[in-house]
């Protein structure tokens, strides 16, 4: 569905992570929309989302966290 994170890094340099956007756009959209209520109403998913967005080393953006 193209929901993998792609990192642009080389040797010592660490690049930013981006969503690959390969695959079917419609499926990617449906999966993303299904995650929003899960994060809002399910404690385990909400805690995982908060961990990914607030960790000190290489935190993800909100959308990246939902995809990850």
- Give 45-61 pLDDT, tens digit per residue: 999 999 999 998 888 88
Is 29 part of a structural domain of the chain? yes
Is 49 part of a structural domain of the chain? yes
The encoded tokens of residue 22 equal 């390969």
Judged by average pLDDT, the poorest of 5-9, 18-22, 31-35 is 5-9
- Sign of dihedral through CA atoms 14, 15, 21, 27? positive
Q: pTM value?
A: 0.64
Is 6 part of a structural domain of the chain? no
**Whether the predicted pLDDT of 40 surpasses 70:** yes
Residue 48 is predicted with a pLDDT of: 93
**Whether the predicted pLDDT of 2 surpasses 70:** no
Domain that holds residue 56: 25-68
**Whether the predicted pLDDT of 27 surpasses 80:** yes
**Number of domains making up the chain:** 1
Is 58 part of a structural domain of the chain? yes
Is 59 part of a structural domain of the chain? yes
């Amino acid at each position: 569905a193209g929901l993998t994170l792609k990192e642009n890094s080389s040797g010592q340099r660490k690049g930013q992570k981006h969503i690959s956007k390969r695959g079917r756009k419609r499926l990617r959209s449906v999966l993303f929309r299904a995650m929003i209520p899960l994060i809002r109403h399910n404690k385990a998913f909400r805690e995982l989302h908060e961990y990914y967005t607030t960790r000190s080393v290489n935190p993800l953006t909100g959308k990246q966290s939902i995809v990850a």
